[in-house]
Structure 1
Amino acid sequence: MTARLSRAVVPAFLTIVTLGVAGTPPARAGPPPATLTAVASVDFAHPEKVHSLVGFLHGLDDTQPPDRVVVPLHPTLWRGSLASASYDRATALGARYMFVLSDLWGYPGAGWYGRQAPWVDWDKWSAFVRDMAAENRSRRLIWDVWNEPDWPYFWTGSEAQYHELYRRAYVAIRQELGPDAIIAGPSVSVFRWDWLTRLLEFCRSADCEVDALSWHELPGGGAISSVGAHARRARLGLLHNPAYAQVGLRELDVSEYVGQRDALYGAEALGYVSQLENAGIKRAAHACWQEPSGVDDCHAHTLDGLLTATSLHPRAAWWALSWYARGTASRVWSQSADPALAIMAARAVDPRHAEIELGYLDTHDRALPATTDVQLDLSGVRHLRFAGRSGRVRIRAYRVRSTGEAQTAPTSMAPPSVVQGAPGRLVVRVRAVGLHDTVLLRLSAPSRRGRR
């Protein structure tokens, strides 16, 4: 991973500093293959109930970014300090607000904002949390106690001291707001099984609760394909573990996702959210980083880098996530046989269209060719209301290329080849999808002359 920057909101007079360098990316074995055909399947007869995982950090005031670029994303989570993102606007947009208490207390890397470390005087910390809870009694907040306590910029105490900090915050919030308030932790910088399990074990013995178990997915040198594996492990081993029922665990949140080197790519954005959605994550938020040009997306109205810094026009990741978001209400089963191909499908984005979204992403763990063909096995086509008994449809294809910090927009592709199989089944082949490209297949009724 490249040198990592603080994503906390700090006073304007403080400089965002480089925090350090993690491990180098794993070596890739040999040159990429000359060609690749990625295979995936969609079943339009198999609806799935899912949660949209479009969310953001900071960067929202009463008017900026404008609604024209926020509303199509249907954000479901906004994470901030209340000062860094407008609660009223975020909730009006349909998002749940995750309030990061530590963003207002301060961090050691920023001189504690003139305060002391919480463990110097625990009573002051408890009073601070109690005051915050009382001030925000009318707001439906998720209370994220501390950001990345495993990272020295944000925390220099011990893990045991973090546990005490969490317990005191839990007591203050429960006393002020009662049992319905959602309290989240530990919000570690990467998936750390040790931190997750030790917080749960601590609360089992200390009579506290962890309503939302949270961590960040910023893989750096690791493979993006690990994101889904982490979430599945946490769901099976922690969320569904009866041993943790007494601590009130009810959801898994990835409160920051997307590593710095993936932040400007559309296919990679789809890769993260598709894995998190398939693994049953409840809420998630896109991370913010410093761009190659120096723009700090944590302090700009760029939707964490989805928009250009000056004109606020969409980049590739904006298109990828807007297509993803509009499909969540009618999501159907889909599966890719290759981690380098992300796929999401929707049966009815409107009464006349179904959609399939594809992303060819760099998984960072193997060499990949510059383009891939995609073969799709579509079943349940007759369940599309516009297809009728024949199961015949028209398919149009659109591509968004990742253009770094520049704005971009979809362009039409050559129509994919379509072979009619058994009733209700189609085999579709999309050619020459470029690395980092996002492709949208838009299905509609065939023309009267029967063309697709």
Structure 2
Amino acid sequence: MKISYLVQILFAGTTPVNALSIRQAASKQATVNIAKSTGKAAFQASGWIYGFPDNGIEADTSIPENFIRDVKFIGSRAGGAQTPTRGWIEGYKSYVPRLNSTISNYHTTRKYGGTFILLVHDLWGADGGKIPLYPGDNGNWTETDNFLRQVAKDLRAFNMLEGLVIDIWNEPDITAFWDRPWNQYLQYYVHAHKLLRKELPEASFSGPSMAASPSLSNTKWQTWLSTVSGNATVPNIYSWHQIGAWEREPDTTVPDFNTLKNKHNLPDLPIDINEYAAKDEQNPGTSVYYIAQLERHNLRGLRANWGSTTALHDGLADLVAKDANKKYFPNGEWQLYKYYASMVGDRLATSASTDLLFDVFATKSSNGVKVIAGTRNTKAQYTLQVSGLTALGLPQSGSVKVRTFQFDWAGDAGAVGAPKDLGISNLAYTADKALITVNPATASTAYAFEIAGSI
């Protein structure tokens, strides 16, 4: 398949017809500025929630190492959810199997150099559905304190404090995970934070891990921020979920969060998007979209995991699957994340299209520039403007070689090989910028562009 069938190269405006096309495309245009760095590449989006098989209390070895190392894995998040026992709410003996699962996942995560985020609510047993007891019921904190002290004791006993972040409760803003009054959650957060800080002063904490991303009108966000500000219980890491178009995207939620944070005189701290992408958003094109958003705002991101029971504890959050012989193989998303892991060097300044449905991530190294581009589940034509070509040692006008790759998608369990090499094109440009029009083959397709220079 020739490159011109899928990716059109537009000159940077030499005729009235071309100029008109460019003006019409501007509202659906993403940008890359090769001359502006935003820091070193750190593979911020290469984490996931659960996804590792349990192996007693030892690291798992069943998934071949290359599937984890090749995507530059950065971290996971777990706490024994959906294992056969219910957790602390049914007693210590029911808690232990969830603890063992957590210990195994911790060791697997650390084996690959990742940060492990502990899901306290899963150890308690609040992993969806009705449960008989929540922390602080009827104003009684005795059971909560016994639980939290046991967790702290076990974390220390099993040497789990290195590379650990304690997530005080997950999705407290929805009844599936907190079926009690909001004020009771706020009391629990302060209570748990202070107790665990005392028991584990060297530990890091994250919160509030809400299902809803920050917005100026969200009263739960406002009251949580007010509560932590007034009770000296600010976490080390702010956290929330970014799942689905209904929760917008970091380009809009991060500014809202900063407004709310500043209103309550809270400090600037790292942010975890500790679950990202709805199930129907997990494909190469939309994964690029999330990668671009996370990287632009310097957010650590963990892919959401939509598996249940044993499937939750396998498959690296649907990056790999197993064939009839139980042998693991990669799908199209894994291929995209593997390419993303090759994007070393400096991150480049980018912007999304104004309709916020097309986005790009780019890096520059001694080998040139790499750009990945994708839409948010949208099959429509968009324009990519690449400026600052002189930063590659190129003249203000001329031509540059661009190699294009295509990332296909055949579903979670669809085996997909390396991206298709669509060949090299000579891209003409003027005024230190070039335009590439991207017309994706499907709403799930992603592309990579490699731009050579004289650096």
Give me the TM-score of the superposition, normalised by structure 2. 0.76
Return the offset for 1:106. 0.7
**Which segments of 5 or more consecutive residues in structure 2 lack a partner in the other structure?**
1-23, 54-59, 80-98
Q: In the alignment, what sits opposite 1:357?
A: 372
Q: In the alignment, what sits opposite 1:301?
A: 314
What is the CA–CA distance in structure 1 between the aligned matches of 2:415 and 2:228, rounded to whole Å? 47
Q: Is the 8 A contact 1:39 1:336 kept in 2?
A: yes
Match among 142, 154, 165 for residue 165 of structure 2: 142
Structure 1 residues 433 and 331, CA, compared in 2 at 3 Å: closer, same or farther? farther
**Which segments of 5 or more consecutive residues in structure 1 lack a partner in the other structure?**
1-34, 363-367, 447-452
Return the offset for 1:277. 2.5
Deviations 1:201-231 (A, max 9, x none): 1223334233322221222xx4575443112
Q: In the alignment, what sits opposite 2:428?
A: 419
Would you say 1:161 and 2:184 are equivalent positions? yes
Q: Is the 8 A contact 1:256 1:284 kept in 2?
A: yes
Aligned-partner residue type, residue 103 of structure 1: D
Q: In the alignment, what sits opposite 1:275?
A: 293
What is the CA–CA distance in structure 1 between the aligned matches of 2:230 and 2:439, rounded to whole Å? 57
What is the CA–CA distance in structure 2 between the aligned matches of 1:241 and 1:75, rounded to whole Å? 35
1:191-230 alignment, distance < 5 Å? 191=213, 193-219=218-244, 222-223=245-246, 225-230=248-253
What is the CA–CA distance in structure 2 between the aligned matches of 1:216 and 1:164, rounded to whole Å? 22
C-alpha RMSD over aligned residues: 3.0
Aligned-pair identity (%): 20
Q: Is the 8 A contact 1:108 1:117 kept in 2?
A: no
Q: How many residue pairs align between the two structures?
A: 386
SS of residue paired to 1:175: helix
What is the CA–CA distance in structure 2 between the aligned matches of 1:242 and 1:80, rounded to whole Å? 31
What is the CA–CA distance in structure 1 between the aligned matches of 2:188 and 2:247, rounded to whole Å? 32
Deviations 1:149-194 (A, max 9, x none): 222222211111111221221122111222x422222212222532
What is the CA–CA distance in structure 2 between the aligned matches of 1:440 and 1:244, rounded to whole Å? 39
Q: Is the 8 A contact 2:401 2:424 kept in 1?
A: no
Return the offset for 1:378. 2.3
Structure 1 residues 235 and 76, CA, compared in 2 at 3 Å: closer, same or farther? farther
Q: In the alignment, what sits opposite 1:436?
A: 444
Higher relative contact order (CA 8 A, sep 6+): 2
Q: Is the 8 A contact 1:228 1:276 kept in 2?
A: no
SS of residue paired to 1:136: helix
Q: Is the 8 A contact 2:281 2:376 kept in 1?
A: no
| Residues 43-52 or 139-148, more deviating | 43-52
Deviations 1:50-76 (A, max 9, x none): 651221111225214321111122122
Q: Is the 8 A contact 1:324 1:344 kept in 2?
A: no
Q: Is the 8 A contact 1:416 1:430 kept in 2?
A: no
Deviations 1:1-20 (A, max 9, x none): xxxxxxxxxxxxxxxxxxxx
Aligned-partner residue type, residue 320 of structure 2: L
What is the CA–CA distance in structure 2 between the aligned matches of 1:108 and 1:408, rounded to whole Å? 33
Q: Is the 8 A contact 2:249 2:293 kept in 1?
A: no
1:249-328 alignment, distance < 5 Å? 250-263=269-282, 265-281=283-299, 283-290=300-307, 299-310=312-323, 311-327=327-343
SS of residue paired to 1:355: strand
What is the CA–CA distance in structure 2 between the aligned matches of 1:213 and 1:402, rounded to whole Å? 33
Q: Is the 8 A contact 1:397 1:439 kept in 2?
A: yes
Structure 1 residues 146 and 205, CA, compared in 2 at 3 Å: closer, same or farther? same
Q: Is the 8 A contact 2:400 2:426 kept in 1?
A: no
Would you say 1:43 and 2:33 are equivalent positions? yes
What is the CA–CA distance in structure 1 between the aligned matches of 2:385 and 2:357, rounded to whole Å? 17
Return the offset for 1:377. 2.9
Q: In the alignment, what sits opposite 1:12?
A: none
Would you say 1:187 and 2:202 are equivalent positions? no
Q: In the alignment, what sits opposite 2:350?
A: 334
Q: In the alignment, what sits opposite 2:93?
A: none
Deviations 1:262-310 (A, max 9, x none): 12x11111112212322342x22110114xxxx7685242111122243
What is the CA–CA distance in structure 2 between the aligned matches of 1:214 and 1:46, rounded to whole Å? 28
Deviations 1:12-47 (A, max 9, x none): xxxxxxxxxxxxxxxxxxxxxxx9784332221111
Give me the TM-score of the superposition, normalised by structure 1. 0.76
SS of residue paired to 1:308: strand
Q: Is the 8 A contact 1:392 1:445 kept in 2?
A: no
Return the offset for 1:429. 4.3
Match among 408, 427, 443 for residue 401 of structure 1: 408
Return the offset for 1:236. 3.8
Aligned-partner residue type, residue 276 of structure 2: Y
Deviations 1:367-405 (A, max 9, x none): x5x452x443323324337x6999754211110122223
Aligned-partner residue type, residue 142 of structure 2: D
Would you say 1:102 and 2:141 are equivalent positions? no
